[in-house]
Amino acid sequence: MAPGAAHSARLALLALLGALLLPGSGGAKTSMWPLNAIIPRGGSVRVNCSTTCDKQNMIFGLETSLDKIEVEYGDNWRIFELSNVQNDSTLICFSNCEGVQTQTEGSLTVYSFPNYVKLEPPSWQPEGKNFSLTCKVSGGAPRAHLTMLLFRGEEEQEEWPVPVEEPAKVTFWRLARREDHGSIFSCRMKLDLRSQGLELFWNSSAPSKLQIYALPATLPHLATPEAVEVGTRRLVNCSLDGLFPASEATVHLARGDQRLKHTVTHGSSSLMATASIEGTVKEEGTRYLVCEITLADQKAVTTKNVTFYSFPPPSLTLREPVVSEGTTVSVECQAHGEAVVTLREAPAGPPGQRAQLQLNVSAEDDGRSFSCSAALQVAGQVLYKNQTQVLSVLYGPRLDEKDCPGNWVWPEGSHQTLKCQAWGNPAPKLNCRREGDGALLPIGDLKPVKREIAGTYQCQANSSRGTATQVVVVNVIYHQNSMAIIISVAAVVILGTVAVAIYVYNYRRKMQKYELQKAQKAQEEMAMKLNTPATPP
Ligand SMILES: *[C@@H]1O[C@H](CO)[C@@H](O)[C@H](O)[C@H]1NC(C)=O
Ligand SMILES: *[C@@H]1O[C@H](CO)[C@@H](O)[C@H](O)[C@H]1NC(C)=O
Ligand SMILES: *[C@@H]1O[C@H](CO)[C@@H](O)[C@H](O)[C@H]1NC(C)=O
Ligand SMILES: *[C@@H]1O[C@H](CO)[C@@H](O)[C@H](O)[C@H]1NC(C)=O
Ligand SMILES: *[C@@H]1O[C@H](CO)[C@@H](O)[C@H](O)[C@H]1NC(C)=O
Ligand SMILES: *[C@@H]1O[C@H](CO)[C@@H](O)[C@H](O)[C@H]1NC(C)=O
Ligand SMILES: *[C@@H]1O[C@H](CO)[C@@H](O)[C@H](O)[C@H]1NC(C)=O
Ligand SMILES: *[C@@H]1O[C@H](CO)[C@@H](O)[C@H](O)[C@H]1NC(C)=O
Ligand SMILES: *[C@@H]1O[C@H](CO)[C@@H](O)[C@H](O)[C@H]1NC(C)=O
């Protein structure tokens, strides 16, 4: 703004001086047309210098450092062509009229378009921070008429004058806002020559895309098991929230320096990479996993240790697994590697590489399970592996009063459950048949009890180990013989009463006899005491 104004002021002043000088110069007036020309750089211009002097011996011409050719002339005018004009310059038309010199100074202004206008690529900018966008321009004149504008798409943002240095830089400061992400910025140079009777010229830089990012201060969350058993496959994942733009973030997930194949899922502001890690014998020991999330030129890294271990289950042996009652069985548990074992049934002691126990088995031990637990310390935690074996004790067959009662008395029509269970290993086969007709014993729910089932049954439990027998008597009380039962019950009651009465009578008689004998004895003792003198102790 300042240089342009100064220039115009100077031109005006020159014109004024010229006008003031003229009257005092013997009436001769020197003029130049055009007085202030503006031409493109390298172009040419014709300047008409004229004088009002009409004397024969007058001298007049154009003073310039530029190459000039006189192309036309009249009595008191001359036209000079100035060509290949590179720089601004001052032109002076002069005349000497009868020894009086007058002159008119004009200017020649060169305009040119820039060689280039550039916007330094803004690349990635962190959200919330001020950043600069620098427009660079080389060439372009006159600078007083040049301004630089920053555009966001087709929308003008700011305008600043272009300084004179070559090349010139104009810096725009902006706050990185999320909504500016992906916007296209450009620098546009404006050469406004409208005041010179020319046009408004524009030159623009190539568009440049602005990218804004936000990376949280927190590190990625790497979720991984601390220990992975050899031969197993486990999931690991790495996630980070608060990312912008999440879709542009990339993940690098690796075990040591070996990249892990992973799948990535993007949320609106988050990212998660999932992979699986497999324990291999080669890998045994502590390794590290690394998760690196990259956005813009920023990286966020998290590292975690994972221990790969092998832990075979303990060997639990029963010698022998199938035995007869009364045999001695030995149970032995052996650990592998650095594990220690405990046998749950064995007497408590410090866990070691080996645990064992011996026992005499009985029928109750059939189906008993023995378990051995191996413990291994991995990555600060104790892991367990258990092994279980079931003992099979051969016994039986057994039929007893508890599980196959020998006597049932039920009223007809009632609901009852008839139980008869044989025991043994191998499981015996039970067969109960009624004496006489060989009918089968109706084991199970009886709804209702029928009189037809009454009878005496012979039960046999057979297995490869032998035979067990039990007699089961089923009585069903039914209506028709209830009188007989009442009579027999009454008879029992009467007989009982008579028996009690007889007993009580006999007892009383015995007691009386005893009381008499006691009284008699007491009298005899009293008599003896009176006859013998007292003896000292
Ligand atoms: C040059 O200027 C003079 C004075 O104004 C004028 O008379 C003359 O015609 C001009 N020459 C041309 C070629 O225009
Ligand atoms: C024109 O200006 C340039 C720099 O702007 C300079 O290098 C050159 O010497 C000048 N030419 C003349 C003839 O003054
Ligand atoms: C960014 O610059 C503006 C003006 O230059 C200033 O007001 C603002 O505080 C700055 N903001 C930051 C985050 O630096
Ligand atoms: C600048 O603009 C002018 C006219 O608008 C054009 O002729 C010229 O090639 C442009 N220059 C550059 C470097 O773009
Ligand atoms: C991430 O990995 C951890 C540890 O392996 C797992 O517990 C969790 O379920 C996984 N989460 C997802 C979403 O896969
Ligand atoms: C991982 O293990 C190494 C030694 O094996 C140890 O120096 C390092 O501190 C561990 N890193 C973490 C994050 O626990
Ligand atoms: C096991 O039985 C054997 C022989 O029958 C006997 O000597 C031993 O004392 C028994 N052991 C136990 C623990 O009962
Ligand atoms: C193995 O045994 C240990 C100790 O007896 C017990 O704490 C653990 O829960 C058992 N594990 C399994 C998987 O049965
Ligand atoms: C059971 O065994 C006895 C003698 O070993 C045999 O007489 C009987 O028929 C057997 N009963 C069944 C149901 O196999």
Q: What is the dihedral of CA 252, 258, 261, 267, to 10 degrees?
A: -20
Tens of pLDDT, residues 313-334:
999 999 988 999 999 999 999 9
Q: Which residue has the higher pLDDT, 164 or 507?
A: 164
Residue 239 has pLDDT above 90, yes or no: yes
Mean pLDDT estimate for the chain: 88
512 Cβ below 6 A of ligand 6: no
Q: How much distance in Å is there from the Cα of 27 to the middle of ligand 8? A: 126
Which of 111, 143, 176 represents a domain boundary (last residue)? Answer: 111
Q: What is the pTM of this model?
A: 0.62
Which of 23-27, 229-233, 271-275, 354-358 shows the lowest mean pLDDT across its residues?
23-27
d(C-alpha 162, C-alpha 170), whole Å = 7
Q: Give pLDDT, residue 26.
A: 55
**260 and 188 in a common domain:** no
Nearest CA to ligand 3 atom 14: 130
Nearest CA to ligand 3 atom 10: 130
**274 and 354 in a common domain:** no
Both tokens of 116, joined, read 């280039």
Look up the domain containing 234 and give its range.
Answer: 221-309
Q: Does residue 533 belong to any structural domain of this protein?
A: no
Residue 167 has pLDDT above 60, yes or no: yes
Q: Give pLDDT, residue 12.
A: 46
Both tokens of 9, joined, read 């002021």
- Candidate from 221, 222, 288 with most ligand 6 atoms within 8 A of CB, to mutate: 288
Residue 195 has pLDDT above 70, yes or no: yes
Q: Which residue has the higher pLDDT, 126 or 347?
A: 126
Number of domains in the chain: 5
Average pLDDT over residues 280-298: 92
Residue 483 has pLDDT above 80, yes or no: no
Ligand nearest to the CA of 234: 5
Pocket-forming residues, ligand 2, beta carbon under 6 Å = 86-87
**68 and 26 in a common domain:** yes
Tens of pLDDT, residues 54-75:
888 888 899 999 989 999 999 8
Beta strands in 15-76 (DSSP E): 30-33, 36-40, 43-51, 59-63, 68-73
Ligand nearest to the CA of 430: 9
When pLDDT is cut at 50, 70 and 90, the band that residue 530 belongs to is: low
Nearest CA to ligand 9 atom 10: 462
Average pLDDT over residues 399-415: 94
45 Cβ below 6 A of ligand 1: no
Residue 5 has pLDDT above 60, yes or no: no
Q: Give pLDDT, residue 28.
A: 80
CATH number at residue 78: 2.60.40.10
**319 and 372 in a common domain:** yes
Q: How much distance in Å is there from the Cα of 370 to the middle of ligand 8? A: 13
Average pLDDT over residues 195-216: 94
Residue 296 has pLDDT above 50, yes or no: yes
**279 and 242 in a common domain:** yes
Ligand nearest to the CA of 128: 3
How many C-beta neighbours within 10 Å does residue 454 have?
18
User: Collapsing DSSP states into helix, strand and coil, what is residue 430?
Assistant: strand
Q: Does residue 511 belong to any structural domain of this protein?
A: no
Which of 181, 213, 245 represents a domain boundary (last residue)? Answer: 213
Tens of pLDDT, residues 428-444:
999 999 999 999 999 99
d(C-alpha 358, C-alpha 372), whole Å = 14
Which of 309, 332, 359 represents a domain boundary (last residue)? Answer: 309
**473 and 414 in a common domain:** yes
**85 and 28 in a common domain:** yes
Residue 184 has pLDDT above 90, yes or no: yes
Q: Does residue 522 belong to any structural domain of this protein?
A: no
